[in-house]
Amino acid sequence: MAKTRTLRSDILFAFTLALACYLAWLVRDALVLLYVSALFAVVLSPLVSAIANVRVHRWQPFRRIAVPVLLVLVVGALIAFGFLALPPVIRDLNQFAKELPDKLPAILEKFQQMPFVGQIDTGSLIQKIQGSASGAATYLLVSFSDWAGKLADIAVCVILTIYFILEGDQAYHWFLSFFPEEGRTRLDTALQRARLRMGKWLLGQGSLMLILGVTSTVVFSALGLRYAYALGVLTGLLNIIPVLGAAFCIGLCLVVAAIDSWGRVAGVAIFYFIYIQVENSLLIPRIMRSSVNLPGLAILSALLIGSALEGVVGAMVSVPSAVLVAVLVDEYLIQKDQEITPEK
């Protein structure tokens, strides 16, 4: 009789698990939003705490309004960036669009002078570019709904992140209540250790972003590169995405430099070459080794998986997710070597 009940319970458990997996697959987009929002909340919590602990003598003016202050700072930074960086870019794009039909043959002729490009048929290329203009416009109109959906997801993610920051402790203890009491303390200790490492990662990553953004802006201004401020800020911000962010910024800066002169292209290339060497040999070991403590292969694997699952957002949360997985694996799967006491 006991064996029959055990078999029935196993079958019921397997059926329930399969049903839960199926339901999770149906609502996978919502679950991804919840996970990303919760992860952002965990990463941003030290920053919110730092704002709340700001003191003016014995007065803490931001203790109860730390989250609104953080939002105001972010929105203010975006507005300042828009006013200072975007107007020259928009003006030059409008001017370039007006002059493109007349300048396109000259641009292609200059392009043909580059090595290994002289065999390209300029006439057919011009026809393809002109013919693809209407197709590009149609594609933009069709994909407008997709972009609107992405913007809606970003807005929902921001709102959920705020709620997780404000009510995260209640949700966290509710989550722990699903586990047996004897394993709850162990899981809580592991998750708290992961939270501390994520906070250190944010501090280290923010330092690297600030260093790269400031040095890029200074170097681009010294080179006389157009949009130096916008490119410097963008380079610093996209440094939060490992590998892909830096690769995109390098390509974009080289393209912008190529508009003016090959000397600026060489200057940008030399700057990035020197900075990458300094970052890999000096900055990352000093700033990130103690915080992330992950091998490069693990970071690259997490980046590839996150990018494949959720694109840019997945790449942004890939390293914190890898930290969380590493802590849980170290706690529950890796067998620790126990001290062997000699027999007396």
Tell which of 157, 178, 199 closes a domain.
178
DSSP string, 272-285: HHHHHHHIIIIIHH
Q: Specify if 313 maps to a domain.
A: yes
Domain count, the chain: 2
Q: Specify if 341 maps to a domain.
A: no
Residue 332's pLDDT band, with cuts at 50, 70 and 90, is: confident
Mean pLDDT for the chain overall = 77
Q: Quick one: 51 and 164 in the same domain?
A: yes
What is the structure's pLDDT at 3? Answer: 46
Tell me what percent of the residues of the chain surpass a pLDDT of 70.
Answer: 77
Q: Specify if 343 maps to a domain.
A: no
Q: Quick one: 153 and 94 in the same domain?
A: yes
Q: Quick one: 144 and 241 in the same domain?
A: no
What is the structure's pLDDT at 315? Answer: 77
Tell me what percent of the residues of the chain surpass a pLDDT of 90.
Answer: 2
Rounded alpha-carbon distances, angstroms, from residue 322 to 316, 326, 329: 11, 6, 10
Give the three-class secondary structure for 289.
Answer: coil
What is the structure's pLDDT at 2? Answer: 44
**What range defines the domain where residue 267 resides?**
182-333
Q: Quick one: 158 and 229 in the same domain?
A: no
Q: Quick one: 68 and 100 in the same domain?
A: yes
Tell which of 126, 155, 178 closes a domain.
178
Distance CA 70, CA 162 (A): 10
| Tokens matching residue 75 | 């929105």
Nearest to 32 by CA among 241, 322, 321: 321
Mean pLDDT along residues 52-73:
83
Tens digits of residue pLDDT in 143-180: 555 666 677 777 888 888 888 888 888 888 888 888 88
Q: Quick one: 232 and 199 in the same domain?
A: yes
Q: Specify if 270 maps to a domain.
A: yes
Q: Quick one: 318 and 238 in the same domain?
A: yes
Q: Specify if 5 maps to a domain.
A: no
Distance CA 53, CA 59 (A): 9
Angle of CA points 138, 139, 141, to nearest 5° = 65
Backbone angles phi, psi at 56, to 5 degrees: -115, 95
Amino acid present at 107 = I
Mean pLDDT along residues 80-93:
75
Tell which of 159, 178, 197 closes a domain.
178
User: Residue 223: is its pLDDT beyond 80?
Assistant: yes
Q: Quick one: 156 and 241 in the same domain?
A: no
Helices assigned H by DSSP within 177-261: 181-223, 228-238, 244-260
Contact 218, 198 (CB under 8 A): no
Q: Specify if 16 maps to a domain.
A: no
Which carries the bigger pLDDT value, residue 321 or residue 81? 321
Q: Quick one: 161 and 187 in the same domain?
A: no
Q: Specify if 320 maps to a domain.
A: yes
Q: Quick one: 88 and 52 in the same domain?
A: yes
Residue 109's pLDDT band, with cuts at 50, 70 and 90, is: low
Mean pLDDT along residues 56-80:
83
Q: Quick one: 192 and 173 in the same domain?
A: no
Q: Specify if 163 maps to a domain.
A: yes
What is the structure's pLDDT at 270? Answer: 92
Mean pLDDT along residues 90-102:
70
Q: Quick one: 297 and 230 in the same domain?
A: yes
